[in-house]
Chain A
Amino acid sequence: MKRVHAGFAALAGSMWLQACGGMPQTPEEFRKAVPGAMMTKTETYEVNRSFRDVASTFQRKAPECLDLAVRTVSQSSTSYQNILTQYKSTVVAGGERAELHLQQEHKTGVIYPSKPPEGGAYIIVADAYPQPGNRTRMQLYGPSMGYDVVYRAIRGWASGENLGCPDMTKIGKL
């Protein structure tokens, strides 16, 4: 019953990485592709929280908040779009790094120019690294526009200051 409906929303997709060569098929390919791609960014910050706590928060909040589907309907006098987008998160926690991957797959209404990986195109990768003094460094890769709500949620989970879920219907809103 975890469902989302969006009445009208702008489509912000993952096309910016597809335009130049194939679509990244792994998180590592995504990390390498983002710095040279259009409309992308990398972001680095530190949080005053232990790496273990950050990793466990990612493991708890990512599936709870990010594994859902969003339906976007937009209509004008000359067009009608109905797009179902499935989001999938993966958390890989190791001793040296904890990774949060967010994938996005348009189930309807979008034609991919190249084959997306299983689970959808990688849209955000957030890496957490342990730092001295019980601190954690965050390194994020993803779009420069339209995903602010997801970036803010991840920052809240990392710092522990806000454990709220991002309203995924706001993706694409500038």
Chain B
Amino acid sequence: MPRLVAWACAAALAALGGCSGLKPYPNDLPAKNLSIRTTTSSGSAFSSVRAALDVYGVDASCRTQYLGTVELDAPSTTVAIATDRGSVLVFNFMSSSFLGGSRGRISREMFIKPRADQRYEIDVTYRDDLYDVVLRERLPRGAAREVALLDLSACRQAG
């Protein structure tokens, strides 16, 4: 009986996961080459906002495959992104209001093909209904340089 209950729970969880389509990003590559600093504030006691990152792998034909989601619920998060291919990172900001029950989601997408020896920093900000995603690469002497965000068309142009 306990085994049956466990199976039923697993099936229910799998169904729920299947319904939402979301899964945790494995984040199991050895080099955590991406540091993400997250700041979110809805600006109101009656609403909230949270951020999450969807990671997509990009193949040689510039097709994307969803790999998983990282909840950006801590001020700092480290993520390992493959260096042997491109990735699309989609930063989602989900806001909700306790008054009137409104919900919204807005996204910012970027294409990145990290260099193997390079570390990157991303500042993710949502404050007072304004959002921003800033990418910097960490230079060898410790300085950081801002890098313009690219979208998936950069993959096609490179190909």
Indicate whether A and B interact: yes
B127 and A4 contact, CB distance less than 8 A = no
What residues of chain A lie closer than 8 Å to B131, measured between beta carbons? Answer: 164-165, 167
A152 and B90 contact, CB distance less than 8 A = no
Mask, A43-85, CB within 8 Å of B = 1, is 0000000000000000000001000000000000000000000
Check if B18 is an interface residue, CB within 8 A of chain A.
Answer: no
State how many angstroms separate the Cβ of A125 from the closest Cβ of chain B: 21
What residues of chain A lie closer than 8 Å to B105, measured between beta carbons? Answer: 4-6, 169
B130 and A168 contact, CB distance less than 8 A = no
Inter-chain CA distance A152–B130, complex, in Å, is 8
State how many angstroms separate the Cβ of B90 from the closest Cβ of chain A: 6
Check if A170 is an interface residue, CB within 8 A of chain B.
Answer: yes
Residue of B nearest to A1 (CB): B109
The residue in B88, B90, B104, B107 that gathers the most chain A C-beta atoms within 10 A of its C-beta is: B104
Residue of B nearest to A163 (CB): B132
Report the contact-size class of chain B (Cβ under 8 Å from the partner).
20 to 34
CB interface residues, B 2-36, toward A, < 8 Å: none
State how many angstroms separate the Cβ of A150 from the closest Cβ of chain B: 10
State how many angstroms separate the Cβ of B106 from the closest Cβ of chain A: 5
Check if B50 is an interface residue, CB within 8 A of chain A.
Answer: no
What residues of chain A lie closer than 8 Å to B88, measured between beta carbons? Answer: 1
State how many angstroms separate the Cβ of B133 from the closest Cβ of chain A: 9
A6 and B104 contact, CB distance less than 8 A = yes
Mask, B88-130, CB within 8 Å of A = 1, is 1010010110001111111111000000000000000111111
Residue of B nearest to A3 (CB): B107
Inter-chain CA distance A139–B39, complex, in Å, is 32
State how many angstroms separate the Cβ of A155 from the closest Cβ of chain B: 10
A5 and B104 contact, CB distance less than 8 A = yes
Inter-chain CA distance A153–B127, complex, in Å, is 11
Partner of B106, one of A64, A156, A167, A173: A167
- Given the known inter-chain contacts A167-B129, A170-B129, please indicate yes or no for A4 contacting B152, CB distance below 8 A: no
Partner of B130, one of A4, A156, A169, A173: A156
What residues of chain A lie closer than 8 Å to B132, measured between beta carbons? Answer: 162-165
State how many angstroms separate the Cβ of B81 from the closest Cβ of chain A: 17
Inter-chain CA distance A6–B105, complex, in Å, is 6
Check if A149 is an interface residue, CB within 8 A of chain B.
Answer: yes
Inter-chain CA distance A151–B93, complex, in Å, is 20
- Given the known inter-chain contacts A1-B107, A3-B107, A4-B105, please indicate yes or no for A167 contacting B130, CB distance below 8 A: yes
B152 and A164 contact, CB distance less than 8 A = no
A165 and B130 contact, CB distance less than 8 A = yes
Inter-chain CA distance A7–B102, complex, in Å, is 6
Chain B contacts to A: CB under 8 angstroms: 88, 90, 93, 95-96, 100-109, 125-132, 149, 152
